[in-house]
Structure 1
Amino acid sequence: MSDLKPSVQSLRRVRFNSIWLVPIVALVVAGWMLYQNWATQGPLIEIVASNAEGLSVGKTKVKARNVDVGEVTSIHLSKDYNHAIIQVRLDNGTRQMLGDDTKFWVIKPRIGREGISGLGTLLSGAYIEMEPGHQGEKTRFNMLTQAPLSTSEDQGIRLRLRSNGLSKLDVGAPVHFHGYEVGYIEKVGFDLKSADITYRLFIKAPYDELVNSSVQFWLTPGLAIVSSARGVQVKMDSLETLLSGGISFGVTKGHAGKPVPDFTQFNLYGSKEQAENHRYDQFINYVFLFNSNISGLEEGAPVEFRGIRIGTVTQVPYNGISFHRLSTMSNPSIPVLARIEPQRLDSDFQKNISLKDWQELLKSQIKLGLRASLETSNILTGAKIIDIDFVPHAKAPTSETFGGYAAFPTVAGKFNQIQNKLVQILDHLAKAPIQQTMQGVQQTLKQADQSLISLRQSSDQLNQLLKRSTKEQLPTHVRDTLVQINRTLSQYQQQGAMGQSLQQSFKSLQRSLNELQPLLQQLGEHSNALIFDHSRPADKIPPAGHPMESH
């Protein structure tokens, strides 16, 4: 018991020392600072990029509207080594800026079609630009390859376009209305199923009011050289569209449209003419069977009635043609599919007359002689069109269909009619007995020479008779008659005026026939030689003789 008293007394002697307050306060302050730092930190996000060019840990800033809102804290590769993972610590209070529509892209010096940008980063270095979002909450984002052309706050309308068989345009290419830039291409894609190029356009306000359900889109021709039935046309737009291309749109006069919502889809055509042709959605298809050469008739060529366009050629030749079909025809014809478009003639179509009424009208006019023919509209390019007009005394049409479409009766074109008549004339000339005619003319000339000789002999005999001494015994009237006959015969002699003239005429006729003989012979061999050139065969060169061998 006595041993425990000293230990209790020693414990009572231990007292609290104030020096311990220093580390305790330091721990409390450090903990508070850590808590404050943790409480004031913004969210940690990840940005996936194809590469981390120009970015550095602890140096690269994240900015929104040129205000620092964060910093890059880590950069590493993804697990598949195909992307760079960039970790960014944002400032406190930025969590509400993160949404599904938040965008990030790198600002650095760029030289492109839009010009030179990002020159301010040459000294400060590249940084990440942030466009705040508003929808949802997200912590992992994809880095854009370039700055977006529009922001979520921009007012306007977005549209989708599809094109087939046309060249690709790039992002940022302008959209024009009557030559004025009203928008641009935001995105370009490709549809593997339909093999169409897809575009997303943005039309800025207030120009979005120009877009309605009746607008058509076509490629803006930077420089276009178009050969058509009307000739050769050269179209040149601005230098900007010449380098980068562009898209134009417009509305046909008299076609009122309705407003359309965002992301409405339209078709993109190669030219304004193609876009206008596709406005006519009410038409009557016919198959035109031509017995002549259709070279020069192309898809898109006009169908005209006395110079007024009433339709369009759609397929040359029509793909419904088959060998069996041609083999069963006595005179095989080439089918061409074309359509009659009543909307070109009637702006209030479907209000005044229906498509069925137009079909009945065309049937009645065909019975009255309405026929189609191929005509050359441009001699320089050889382009052809289908011309429809009334033909007098036309043969009655036979009700025939081809490939499921009604066949429009056709006749030969004006040029083909002239050519056929000329060929018939030349064929008759070729069948004429030219050789026999030449022989007859030569015999006639020989007989004429003999007749002149006989006339000369008779004239000489009369002169001798008149000079004889017994001439006075002849009656006076007989003597006068003989003198007159002598004068007449002397005129027809070779030395006489009539004889010389007749002889010259015969000689001229002989020379003309000699000159015409090669031409007539060529026409006999080739009846179309006057239309188509036939080159003469090269003159034969006799082979050189062998030199004599010296002995």
Structure 2
Amino acid sequence: MSEQNTQVENLRKVRFNSIWLVPLIALMVAGWMLYQNWSSQGPIITLVAANADGLEMGKTKLKSRNVDVGRVIDIRLSDDYENAIIKIRMNQGTQQMLRSDAKFWVVKPRVGKEGVSGLGTLLSGAYIDMTPGVKGRLQTDFTLLNQPPLSTENEGVRLVLSSTEGSKLDVGALVHFRGYEVGYVEKVGFDTDRGTITYRVVIRSPYDALVNSDVQFWMTPGLSFKSSASGFEVRLDSLETLISGGISFGLPQGRTAGKPVEDMTSFRLYSSKESATNNMYNEFINYVFLFDSNVSGLTPGAAVEFRGVRIGTVLDVPFSGIPMDSLTSLDTPLIPVRARIEPQRLNSLNTSGAMSLSKWNAFIDDRINNGVRATLKIGNYLNAAKVINIDFVNNPPPVRWKEFSGYKVFPTAPDAFANIESKVGGILDNLSQLPLNSTFEQLNRTMNEANETLHQLQAVSKSVAQLLNNADTQQIPTELIATINELNVTLETYQANGQIGRPLRENMVSLGRALNELQPLLRQLRENPNTLIFDTKPRGDVQPKAAR
């Protein structure tokens, strides 16, 4: 009993001490801080990158429009060691930014064709920038872009261009419409099945309304130099296209706008505007031209003209589609050239009453029967570029072939230079057939006979003088003496040193010397007829001089 009373008294002696409130308050504050920190944190996202260059765990920030929205908390390698895995703790209230169309990239100093960017990170260090997502579902796994996106605008239209010719363009190359920037190249790829380079381009709004089903796209190099039958052409575009090239598009002349296009519509990308123009004619008639003259200077893409008006395009020089055994079976060696007649160059592309191809075939066949022939003509004498000229010919050669190896044959005639050469050759042949040796011998005999005649005239003149000095002769009437004196004066002019005899003798000597000097010239013209037109000595190549 006494023990129980003792315990009760001890319990009554226990009192509450105020110092115990300090750890209790500290525990409550720590709990509140933990709760605040937990409640203020956003989700953790994962970025997959090729490398983590310039990023540091715990220091690198994530920004959007230059506002901090997160921080890197972990950087490690992927399980296959191929990529870097970057963990980022987002701030509270940023969950709606993490949609599937959000983009992330590293901001650091860059120097490229777009200019210099990211200089501010030289002191602060690299950071990750992002474009908030607005479409798609919420997610936490993203891919870090290797370079900043070209545009954050999603409005416009995306197209796929395929090219089989020309040089490759880079991402960021500009797209122009009549010289005005309207878009850019977003992605470059290669189609292994078709062997073509593919470009995904973005045409920004409102310029996407300029794109329709009938537009054509072509490359616009910054600096181009072209030599053709039309002459020499040097073109310099803007500084941006000079560095990286570009793409232009437009509606062909004479064609109305087509239907609007949807995203990812495919178009062909041509190497030049001229190539795009030549390929817009979808109705044509293929011919094979068999030329028996030199086709040097005739290149694919050259014009087929009728009296200076272009009506077609040369396709292959020479045409390799014809078997060589078919050519060797001909009487004379010929060079095949494939070209096409494009009636749409004469008809409007949108004219409903234009002649059909069948009518054009019949029309051309009728003109061929009436003497239309094809010849080679020099379109530019500076570079010797040639074109195919179609026109009526006097006394046209007969049509020998209607069809050859499955292609219709357009009859040809010798070109103008071939006619000149044949005429010069005929003249030289006629000159070579002249009896020059017998002519020279006859001329020498004539000159000898003339000398003898002059000597005889001199002797007669002396005899007349003696006769006049004779006393008996002086008794002749005065009129007869005057007549004899005039005859004597006339005879003296025909002497070797007389007014007529001397020039005649000098002219005969000069003629003989000129004929002797003419023999080497005639021999050279007979051996090389083309010396009348071209130089006999080939011009040497210009040797470039070294820079000082």
Q: Using the TM superposition, name which of 282-291 and 486-495 deviates more.
A: 486-495
Give the distance between the partners of 1:109 and 1:535, measured in 2 at CA: 61
Alignment partner of 1:270 is 2:279: no
Alignment partner of 1:345 is 2:346: yes
Shift of 1:229: 0.6
- Letter aligned with residue 344 of structure 2: Q
Instruction: Report sequence identity in percent.
Output: 54
Q: Using the TM superposition, name which of 185-194 and 21-30 deviates more.
A: 21-30
Q: Equivalent residue for 1:128?
A: 128
Q: Using the TM superposition, name which of 407-416 and 107-116 deviates more.
A: 107-116
- Letter aligned with residue 277 of structure 1: N
Q: Deviations over 1:150-202 (max 9, x none)?
A: 23x53111111112231122211211111111111111112233332211111
Q: Which residues of 2 match residues 423-442 of structure 1 at below 5 A?
A: 423-442=425-444
Give the distance between the partners of 2:535 and 2:441, measured in 1 at CA: 29
Shift of 1:487: 6.0
Q: Secondary structure at the match of 1:359?
A: helix
- Letter aligned with residue 419 of structure 1: E
- Letter aligned with residue 143 of structure 2: N
Q: Deviations over 1:300-347 (max 9, x none)?
A: 111111111111111111112333122101111111111111111111
Shift of 1:58: 1.9
Shift of 1:385: 0.7
CA gap of 1:96–1:495, structure 2 versus 1, over 3 A, is closer
Shift of 1:131: 2.6
> Are 2:186 and 2:201, in contact at CA under 8 Å, matched by a contact in 1?
yes
Give the distance between the partners of 1:21 and 1:48, measured in 2 at CA: 50
Give the distance between the partners of 2:192 and 2:44, measured in 1 at CA: 38
Q: Equivalent residue for 1:250?
A: 250
Shift of 1:482: 7.8
> Are 1:430 and 1:525, in contact at CA under 8 Å, matched by a contact in 2?
no
Alignment partner of 1:354 is 2:356: yes
Q: Secondary structure at the match of 2:159?
A: strand
Q: Using the TM superposition, name which of 421-430 and 451-460 deviates more.
A: 451-460
Give the distance between the partners of 1:14 and 1:190, measured in 2 at CA: 90
> Are 2:113 and 2:240, in contact at CA under 8 Å, matched by a contact in 1?
no
> Are 2:421 and 2:529, in contact at CA under 8 Å, matched by a contact in 1?
no
Shift of 1:100: 3.6
Alignment partner of 1:149 is 2:154: no
Alignment partner of 1:240 is 2:240: yes
> Are 2:461 and 2:492, in contact at CA under 8 Å, matched by a contact in 1?
yes
Q: Equivalent residue for 1:547?
A: none
CA gap of 1:23–1:524, structure 2 versus 1, over 3 A, is closer
Q: Deviations over 1:57-98 (max 9, x none)?
A: 222222333343332221111223222111223345544443
> Are 1:218 and 1:269, in contact at CA under 8 Å, matched by a contact in 2?
yes
Q: Deviations over 1:400-437 (max 9, x none)?
A: 22342211111111222112211221122233332232
Q: TM-score, normalised by structure 2?
A: 0.85
> Are 1:289 and 1:335, in contact at CA under 8 Å, matched by a contact in 2?
yes
Give the distance between the partners of 1:521 and 1:55, measured in 2 at CA: 87
Q: 1:375 aligns with which of 374, 377, 381?
A: 377
Q: Which residues of 2 match residues 437-516 of structure 1 at below 5 A?
A: 437-461=439-463, 489-516=491-518
Q: Which residues of 2 match residues 143-542 of structure 1 at below 5 A?
A: 143-151=144-152, 153-256=153-256, 257-347=258-348, 348-349=350-351, 351-461=353-463, 489-534=491-536
Give the distance between the partners of 1:117 and 1:407, measured in 2 at CA: 62
Shift of 1:374: 0.5
> Are 1:430 and 1:523, in contact at CA under 8 Å, matched by a contact in 2?
no
Could you say what the CA RMSD is over the residues aligned between the two structures, in angstroms?
3.7
Q: Using the TM superposition, name which of 22-31 and 251-260 deviates more.
A: 22-31
CA gap of 1:17–1:340, structure 2 versus 1, over 3 A, is farther
> Are 1:342 and 1:349, in contact at CA under 8 Å, matched by a contact in 2?
no
- Letter aligned with residue 412 of structure 1: P
> Are 2:165 and 2:270, in contact at CA under 8 Å, matched by a contact in 1?
no
Q: Equivalent residue for 2:542?
A: none
Unaligned stretches of 5+ residues in structure 2: 539-548
> Are 2:225 and 2:232, in contact at CA under 8 Å, matched by a contact in 1?
yes
Give the distance between the partners of 1:70 and 1:479, measured in 2 at CA: 143
> Are 1:429 and 1:523, in contact at CA under 8 Å, matched by a contact in 2?
no
Q: Secondary structure at the match of 2:295?
A: coil
Q: Deviations over 1:38-59 (max 9, x none)?
A: 6775433321111111212222
- Letter aligned with residue 494 of structure 1: A
Q: Equivalent residue for 1:539?
A: none
Q: TM-score, normalised by structure 1?
A: 0.85
Q: Secondary structure at the match of 2:398?
A: coil
CA gap of 1:47–1:468, structure 2 versus 1, over 3 A, is same
Q: Equivalent residue for 2:546?
A: none
Give the distance between the partners of 2:513 and 2:118, measured in 1 at CA: 91
- Letter aligned with residue 208 of structure 1: D
Q: Secondary structure at the match of 1:497?
A: coil
> Are 1:189 and 1:198, in contact at CA under 8 Å, matched by a contact in 2?
yes
Shift of 1:524: 4.9
Give the distance between the partners of 1:442 and 1:320, measured in 2 at CA: 65
- Letter aligned with residue 127 of structure 1: Y
Q: Secondary structure at the match of 2:253?
A: coil
CA gap of 1:86–1:490, structure 2 versus 1, over 3 A, is same
CA gap of 1:22–1:421, structure 2 versus 1, over 3 A, is same
Q: Using the TM superposition, name which of 394-403 and 267-276 deviates more.
A: 394-403
> Are 1:159 and 1:264, in contact at CA under 8 Å, matched by a contact in 2?
yes
CA gap of 1:28–1:533, structure 2 versus 1, over 3 A, is closer
Give the distance between the partners of 1:17 and 1:321, measured in 2 at CA: 119
Give the distance between the partners of 1:355 and 1:532, measured in 2 at CA: 44
Q: Equivalent residue for 2:75?
A: 75
Q: Equivalent residue for 1:49?
A: 49
Give the distance between the partners of 2:246 and 2:529, measured in 1 at CA: 56
Shift of 1:249: 1.2
Q: Equivalent residue for 1:63?
A: 63
- Letter aligned with residue 79 of structure 1: D
Shift of 1:469: 7.1
Q: Secondary structure at the match of 1:52?
A: coil
Give the distance between the partners of 2:86 and 2:363, measured in 1 at CA: 73
CA gap of 1:404–1:137, structure 2 versus 1, over 3 A, is farther
Q: Deviations over 1:430-457 (max 9, x none)?
A: 3333223222221221222223233334
Q: Equivalent residue for 1:101?
A: 101
CA gap of 1:500–1:121, structure 2 versus 1, over 3 A, is closer
Give the distance between the partners of 1:284 and 1:528, measured in 2 at CA: 37
Q: Secondary structure at the match of 1:57?
A: coil
Q: Secondary structure at the match of 1:329?
A: coil
Q: Secondary structure at the match of 2:166?
A: coil
- Letter aligned with residue 167 of structure 1: S
Give the distance between the partners of 1:179 and 1:421, measured in 2 at CA: 53
- Letter aligned with residue 377 of structure 2: E
- Letter aligned with residue 281 of structure 1: N
Question: How many residue pairs get matched?
Answer: 528
Give the distance between the partners of 1:212 and 1:403, measured in 2 at CA: 40
Give the distance between the partners of 2:33 and 2:527, measured in 1 at CA: 115
